Amino acid sequence: MKDQDYEEIAQKLRETLGEGKVFTQTFHRMAYSRDWSPRDAKEAYLPDIVVRPFSIEEASKMVKIANEYKIPVIPYAGGTGMSGASVPIYGGISVDMKGLDKVKEVDVKNMTVTCGVGITILRLNEILAEYGLWFPHDPESKPASTVGSAIACNNDGTFAIKYGRTPDFLLNTVVVTGTGQILRIGHRKALVSSTGLNLMPLFIGSEGTLGLVCEATLRIYPLPKARAVLGLLFRSITDAINSLQRLLQAGLSVESAHVNCGRRLNFYTHSFRLKHNRDPDIPEWTDAVLFVSFNGDSKVVDFSKEYALKLVEETDGELLKEEAMVESWWNSKHTGSFIPFRQKWPDSQREKKFGAADLGLPVGRIEEGYQRYLEIAEKNGLEILGMCVYNEKASCISPSISFAVWVDDKDPENVRGWWNYVKEMSYMAVDLEGTMSTYWGDGEFRIGYNRYEHGDSLDVMMQIKKIFDPNNIMNPGKKFSVDEINKITVKIEKN
Ligand SMILES: Cc1cc2nc3c(=O)[nH]c(=O)nc-3n(C[C@H](O)[C@H](O)[C@H](O)COP(=O)(O)OP(=O)(O)OC[C@H]3O[C@@H](n4cnc5c(N)ncnc54)[C@H](O)[C@@H]3O)c2cc1C
């Protein structure tokens, strides 16, 4: 398409949506050219047009125009995604979803909130706190990442071991499909339903490839009255996992639980050293740390803490005495003020990029996965940062594992090594009876080899995509290869 065609489309969008919602200047377009995926520092894909709709109707009108001209529509929220999923690799219209940020209703009686999905998770919780309520989905990126991308990426949250994540929260949603059709899907404020076909899960983790998610009704909870946070030291990852299993089996009110390998512990020992100018008091045998929190009424929390310590002793673990380290773990998850994210250790985010393969492995294969990670990272010339096992389903060990490395995005060779690392790690996850991704999705980079996980089901997925988005305008080049999807025809006709 020629520049003058884009100018024509932008003009049509301006006439339809009004002023202040359509942008074509380079500096505007630059802001939507990257996300947090480690890539060559010089690489940038500019959208041709940026649109910021403020209502579902505006979003629908915009998609109808894009569909008429068959140009890509790429939903963009906080830009903190790590798989290139919001990068406009084929140009087109980047849609800034943050204009849809209004809280429509806080229904205290029914414990739901209905909101525009462009609201950040942090802001939503600030508003809910005024009612003593809480949306307990808590990614570290919450100051920037939105409810819409929590749905579109099905991302991880710190408190999922108690509350679950998007499939457990999302009751109802309004979407705009690739033809501009507005659809309400879900079961209003009911928590469960067995009518019709359940379309909502299709949008959870769809990465903008089926349409724009515009509104959500979410299940919410009372703010916890009390909380206790502990750091527990173990001789191995397996010991830490077994101990966590024991806490859950005992019925304790576990609110969050992260198992870090010895290397990842360096995050916290380093920040401790910077702050206190001494080494933390940690036994030499330590090779894993479990950070865990409990919530509920204060008596329950006190009991949970005491009982947990008793169980941990029985499983050969020990309490981490350095409370400053426990605090820095909590800060790393909740305040965005964690020192290693800002300062120069071992290199800051400005020097190098934090990259993590985000695999889902069955609990019995974690140690095996860890050994393979060390080999694969080394083979691809990447500095190893360590592994953290998040738990993402209520009341059980449900590993979503971040296998982290540093990536030097000023070195194209290192960036290539990173993407090869992601690929080899992804294959490894499937070989170990797991899944390639638990919070990134496929994005731009898993195309081509995600068939290794899904086989012929990938063809069925592409047919489903075509039902919602017949012209493949919704985030093309993500999840599915454009060449493959162009070969698929699905015809739906209504007499
Ligand atoms: C410092 C940092 C910490 C992080 N911590 C976590 C964490 O704890 N847990 C975790 O899971 N991830 C984490 N991430 C990764 C990232 O934040 C999440 O994947 C997040 O969901 C991306 O949100 P975003 O709003 O920035 O979305 P974007 O990067 O803008 O978009 C992500 C994808 O969602 C699509 N999308 C966005 N909004 C919509 C919509 N309304 N309708 C349809 N599609 C849409 C986009 O097209 C794209 O495919 C972290 C990232 C960083 C940089």
pLDDT tens-place string over residues 125-169: 999 999 999 999 999 889 899 999 999 999 999 999 999 999 999
pLDDT for 266: 87
Spatial separation of the C-alpha atoms in residues 425 and 470, rounded to whole Å: 33
pLDDT for 287: 97
CA of 305 to the centre of ligand 1 (A): 33
Spatial separation of the C-alpha atoms in residues 337 and 18, rounded to whole Å: 39
Burial of 438: CB neighbours in 10 Å, binned 0-12, 13-18, 19+: buried
- Is residue 295 scored above 60 in pLDDT? yes
In ligand 1, which atom is closest to the CA atom of 150? 21
pLDDT for 49: 98
CA of 79 to the centre of ligand 1 (A): 7
* Contact of 468 with 474, CB cutoff 8 Å: yes
Mutate to test the pocket of ligand 1, among 86, 87, 341 (most ligand atoms within 8 A of CB): 86
Spatial separation of the C-alpha atoms in residues 312 and 242, rounded to whole Å: 10
pLDDT band at 345 (very low <50, low <70, confident <90, very high): very low
- Kindly list the structural domains of the chain, giving each domain's residue range(s) and its CATH number in brackets, ordered by start: 3-98 (3.30.43.10), 103-222 (3.30.465.10), 226-342 (3.30.70.3450), 353-431 (3.30.70)
Spatial separation of the C-alpha atoms in residues 151 and 117, rounded to whole Å: 9
Query: Whose C-alpha lies nearest to ligand 1, atom 28?
Result: 79
In ligand 1, which atom is closest to the CA atom of 478? 49
Query: Whose C-alpha lies nearest to ligand 1, atom 8?
Result: 139
In ligand 1, which atom is closest to the CA atom of 82? 15
pLDDT for 350: 59
Q: Which of 471, 490, 485 is nearest to 71 (CA)?
A: 471
Q: Which of 335, 385, 332 is nearest to 357 (CA)?
A: 385
In ligand 1, which atom is closest to the CA atom of 117? 41
Residue 31 CA: distances (Å) to CA of 48, 49, 100, 185, 416: 12, 11, 18, 32, 24
Spatial separation of the C-alpha atoms in residues 293 and 305, rounded to whole Å: 9
- Is residue 98 scored above 90 in pLDDT? yes
Please, what is the Cα angle at 203 between 200 and 204, to 5 degrees? 90
Most confident of 325-339, 405-419, 462-476: 462-476
CA of 150 to the centre of ligand 1 (A): 7
Q: Which of 446, 414, 434 is nearest to 38 (CA)?
A: 414
In ligand 1, which atom is closest to the CA atom of 175? 42
* Contact of 232 with 317, CB cutoff 8 Å: yes
Q: Which of 38, 41, 4, 44 is nearest to 26 (CA)?
A: 44
pTM: 0.95
pLDDT band at 332 (very low <50, low <70, confident <90, very high): confident
- Is residue 400 scored above 90 in pLDDT? yes
Spatial separation of the C-alpha atoms in residues 89 and 447, rounded to whole Å: 13
CA of 37 to the centre of ligand 1 (A): 11
Mutate to test the pocket of ligand 1, among 89, 153, 213, 468 (most ligand atoms within 8 A of CB): 153
- Is residue 422 scored above 80 in pLDDT? yes
- Is residue 306 scored above 90 in pLDDT? yes
pLDDT for 8: 95
pLDDT tens profile 46-56: 999 999 999 99
- Is residue 489 scored above 90 in pLDDT? no
In ligand 1, which atom is closest to the CA atom of 333? 8
pLDDT tens profile 425-484: 999 999 999 999 999 999 999 998 999 999 999 999 999 999 999 999 999 999 999 999
pLDDT for 352: 79
pLDDT tens profile 216-273: 999 999 999 999 999 999 999 999 999 999 999 999 999 999 999 999 998 889 888 8
As for ligand 1, residues whose beta carbon falls within 6 Å of it are 35-36, 74-82, 85-86, 97, 117, 139-141, 144-146, 148-150, 152-153, 155-156, 207-208, 212-213, 439, 475
pLDDT for 349: 56
pLDDT for 347: 44
| Residue 387 backbone dihedrals phi, psi, to 5 degrees | -115, 145
The H or E element containing residue 23 is strand 22-23
- Is residue 293 scored above 70 in pLDDT? yes
Q: Which of 283, 288, 286, 282 is nearest to 238 (CA)?
A: 288
CA of 60 to the centre of ligand 1 (A): 22
Strands 73-76 and 93-96: parallel
pLDDT for 339: 52
- Is residue 9 scored above 50 in pLDDT? yes
CA of 196 to the centre of ligand 1 (A): 30
Spatial separation of the C-alpha atoms in residues 178 and 66, rounded to whole Å: 9
Percent of the chain, pLDDT > 70?
Answer: 97
CA of 153 to the centre of ligand 1 (A): 6
* DSSP structure string for 319-367: E---HHHHHHHHHHHHTS--HHHHS-SSS-TTTSEEEEEEEB--GGGHH
| Residue 274 backbone dihedrals phi, psi, to 5 degrees | -60, -40
The one-letter amino acid code at 466 reads K
CA of 137 to the centre of ligand 1 (A): 13
CA of 19 to the centre of ligand 1 (A): 28
